[in-house]
Chain A
Amino acid sequence: MFGAGGGTSSYREAEETNLVILWGSNARETHPIFFHHLLRGVRNGARLVAVDPRRTSSAQWADVWLGIDVGSDIALANAMARVIIHAGLANKEFIERATTGYEEFARCVEAYTLEVAEKETGVPADAIRDVALEYARAERAMICWTLGITEHHNATDNVLALINLALLTGKVGRYGCGLNPLRGQNNVQGGGDMGAIPARLPGFQDLQEPDIHAKFSRAWGGAQFPDKKGYHLSEMFDAMEHGELTAAYIVGENPARSEADQTRAVRLLGGLEHLVVQDIFLTQTAELAHVVLPATAGWAESDGTVTNSERRVQRVRRALEPPVGARDDLEIIGELARRLGCDWGRPTAEQVWDECRELSPMHAGMSYARLDELGGIQWPCPDESHPGTQFLHARLWKDPVEGMPAPFHAVEHDPPVDRLTKDFPIRLTTGRRLDSFNTGVQSNQYSSPLRKREALLISPADGERLGIHDGERVLASSRRGSVEVPIRFDESLRPGLAFLTLHFPDQVATNVLTIDATDPKSGTAEFKASAIRIEKLPAGIRT
């Protein structure tokens, strides 16, 4: 955010803050060890607010639970901003010194009265006002979010709406304050940091900036880069649809199960002229491939680094000999390069990292020796005497402000694409459970005593209304497809809301139901909001 794509705070700060707003995150189950830090904060007296459509196990720890309607986050954030402005609690000095775009933002949120917000979000006006005032008045406050914010067709706007709140109140760039996306997967942060974002190079450096372009070109033997921005994931699938993208090289990802609107994803992947999959398993995606490259498991069978949600670069190390035939990602990429006519030699992971340090200023001070010694280092770390950066954007409090001011972005509420209608009256949202992970490729292989068969969770009230009993198999349908699934009543859901995970695609193909409406800026699909109907199966099929 504002030029640096990473969480601004350290986990430790959650222990010493006064208020945490957990927004669209069930960290108790999805980031359990971060939640330990947060609970220490709660025990030290911090207040916890959970914004979530479900009364999750995280929300059960909260002082206040705002049971928001799925996809109405911007309406809530804008209304909170309006309350703060009208109460005279906006941090005028900070806004003046360190931000831009306030006037337009203030005009935009003026339309989000508490009445409007209550109608759009389903959250009582009083609760919205109280949380807004509490956030503004807290000495230190953090906002933490996960996929409840980002798996929407307007994901980027959702994030901007949260950033606005922090800028409005000056709750960023100070110890115990900040804006923290909790990364859902190991090294999502590191992947982005290393340039796995269209038009970015390692260290978030912009490929389209001539100086950057020239620096990398010099380092890489005069290499020329494409001058147009690449595709993000959802655009790739659109390009497949249009026949523009005919070959794909997929490394460590299972889009045949993880993509929204799975039927379409499998059709497009199956229709490619050439598909290469590099993975540690023969995943459902690998089964569609023309070539499969067996790889080593990055965290236990090879050396390298990953980066966590507090921007900490950490070493992974080889503990096991890989199975026969599996090769290190680095070796596979090197061999591919050789076949394509470039001899990169056989660099070790450390040599590759040292090259990264030369080219990416924010990683420059992180030698392997220092990473070992310090238990990882938080970026930016520009030189070998730098301890790493505990929290970002202290620059906004310098006098005068260092670097570019932080911009407000006026963003408008835009409800989920998959509208609720008479035919599809129930909102389906998705998420994770504590013991499982994504499409289950890794997590389904250990024996978890917590694991239950996948079921469509609905509120008991909906079950009664639909004449469905707990455990009954039903037909759940969205505008894209149908799945048969057993029902389980869940008290954490309000009427009209249903929940599935993506963990057991062989039991329930959840992504047959989900919508691939995507955020044009980040390319994230709206996994969190599908419209479904639930029907009883004909007698005889029911269990």
Chain B
Amino acid sequence: MAERVFVGLPKRLVKVSIDGQEMDVLEGATILDACRQLRIDTPTLCQLETLTPVNVCRVCVVEVEGSRVLVPACSRTVEAGMKIQTDSERVRHSRRLVLELLASSVDMSLCSPQVHGWMRRYGATPERFGENVATVAQPVKIDNDLYVRDYSRCILCYKCVEACGADAQNTFAIGVAGRGFDAHIATEFTAPLPESACVYCGNCIGVCPTGALMFKSEYDMRQAGTWDESQQTVTETVCPYCGVGCMLELHVQDNSIVKVTSPLDHSVTEGHLCVKGRFGFEFVQRRRG
């Protein structure tokens, strides 16, 4: 009864060395993939398995023998004979500086504990640039009932743009406007979301690593001081709307759904949802009176 299952064309193995360790990696894999295979914890901010690498944050850089500059591990594919250093002084210095520059101008307090761990590991001290240095601080944008945009927290990783664009949603409601320090994520003509092309899938929130994009429900609870992840459960279930069968992760606090995400590694959604799956859960809350 077993049917033919398409697994793609066979791939060759490539020999590389990472921090002196010889290994075989599948052709086409990135240096980051290889590092992960060796369980070398590599910092990343703009990289996500489901998105095309855009090489903007530079925090994953490694040293490759023969290369004049450091190379981004997230996008550079392995080549036979590559000799890679992931923890040289040059790599550590570069990673530290990237984290310091970002954290001095952007509020990174809501980044994952992992990011704070990298800050400690590389000895990042953003304060050393002084107080009131160049900053992106600005008021939170609240223009609809579903999610807020707090660009004080935006590190310009482009993930939201990629998820809204060709990598998933293909709506293209947002892009990067401005150049240099003025670069920022914007809708067309900086219109409020309800006047933009946005379809409220929330796939930008799903990929945001800093909390710049946030469910209104989470934002309101944080403002009220009631948001408490230690009191939350996460349960996997299936969206109740159409027949596609998107996997949902329901984040529940005090018997209320406080946000909805989807697993990155599930073949149906790859982490992405539509507006109904992401926000259409109110009907189960309201019957609790």
The interface of chain A, by Cβ under 8 A from chain B, is 11-13, 16, 30-34, 36, 39, 43, 61, 175, 182-189, 280-281, 297-301, 306-310, 312, 314-321, 323, 326, 375-376, 380, 382, 386-387, 389-391, 394, 434-437, 441-443, 445-450
Contacts and interface: CB of A to CB of B under 8 A. Distances in A.
Interface in B252-278: 252, 255-257, 263, 265-270, 272-277
Given A36-B169, A300-B257, A308 B3 contact: no
A262 B168 CA distance: 39
Given A175-B4, A299-B237, 4 more contacts: A43-B166, A375-B247, A436-B276, A437-B280
B240 A446 contact: no
B161 to A, nearest CB: 16
A187 B243 contact: yes
8 contacts: A31-B242, A32-B201, A301-B284, A316-B237, A319-B257, A323-B287, A386-B2, A387-B2
Interface centre among B145, B284, B288, by most chain A C-beta atoms within 10 angstroms, is B284
B239 to A, nearest CB: 7
Interface in B124-181: 144-146, 166, 168-170
Contacts of A281: 283, 287
B267 A12 contact: yes
A376 B5 contact: no
A387 B286 CA distance: 40
A33 B272 contact: yes
B235 A31 contact: no
Nearest to B279: A446
A186 B242 contact: yes
B193 interface: yes
Contacts of B280: 435, 437, 442-443, 446
Contact of A297 (B240, B241, B255): B240
B243 A184 contact: yes
B144 A312 contact: no
A39 to B, nearest CB: 5
A299 B238 contact: yes
Contacts of B170: 36, 39, 61
B61 interface: no
B122 interface: no
Interface centre among A30, A36, A436, by most chain B C-beta atoms within 10 angstroms, is A36
B191 interface: no
Contact of B243 (A36, A189, A447): A189
Nearest to B8: A16
B241 A11 contact: no
A360 to B, nearest CB: 14
Interface in B185-237: 193-194, 198-201, 233, 235-237
Contact of A314 (B5, B145, B238, B257): B238
Nearest to A441: B283
Nearest to B239: A186
A98 B144 CA distance: 56
B1 A443 contact: no
Contacts of A380: 1
Q: How large is the interface on B (under 10, 10 to 19, 20 to 34, 35 or more residues)?
A: 35 or more
Contacts of A448: 146, 200, 275, 279
B244 A33 contact: yes
A436 B286 CA distance: 17
Contacts of A394: 3-4
B64 interface: no
Given A300-B284, A445-B286, A182 B252 contact: no
Nearest to B256: A320
B99 interface: no
Nearest to B275: A435
Contact of B245 (A39, A314, A449): A314
Given A299-B237, A450-B199, A434 B275 contact: yes
A30 B242 contact: yes
B238 A445 contact: no
Nearest to B250: A319
Contacts of A309: 243-245
B289 interface: yes
A375 B5 contact: no
B201 to A, nearest CB: 7
A315 B252 CA distance: 18
A300 to B, nearest CB: 5
A188 B166 CA distance: 31
B145 to A, nearest CB: 4
Contacts of A175: 4, 6
B84 interface: no
A308 B243 contact: yes
Contacts of B246: 33
B255 A320 contact: yes
A186 B241 contact: yes
Contacts of A436: 276
B1 A386 contact: yes
B224 to A, nearest CB: 19
Contacts of A323: 287-289
Per CB-CB distance, the 3 closest pairs between chain A and chain B, nearest first, are A308-B245, A183-B243, A319-B235
Contacts of B166: 43
A191 to B, nearest CB: 10
A315 B276 contact: no
Contacts of A16: 6
Given A32-B274, A450-B199, A314 B247 contact: yes
Nearest to A296: B284
B282 interface: yes
B118 interface: no
Interface string B92-106: 000000000000000
A502 to B, nearest CB: 14
Contacts of A33: 244, 246, 268-269, 272-274, 277
Given A32-B201, A319-B252, A441-B283, A435 B245 contact: no
Contacts of B6: 13, 16, 175, 390
Contact of A306 (B1, B4, B245): B245
B284 A443 contact: no
Contact of B255 (A36, A317, A321): A321
A387 B2 CA distance: 8
Contact of A318 (B235, B247, B274): B235
Given A33-B244, A387-B2, A315 B236 contact: yes
B94 to A, nearest CB: 33
A306 B240 CA distance: 10
Contacts of B201: 32
Contacts of A321: 255
A447 B285 CA distance: 13
A326 B273 CA distance: 28
A234 to B, nearest CB: 21
Given A184-B243, A437-B241, A300 B276 contact: no
B235 A317 contact: yes
A373 to B, nearest CB: 12
Contacts of A61: 170
Given A300-B257, A314-B247, A434-B199, A184 B284 contact: no
Interface centre among A318, A389, A391, A450, by most chain B C-beta atoms within 10 angstroms, is A450
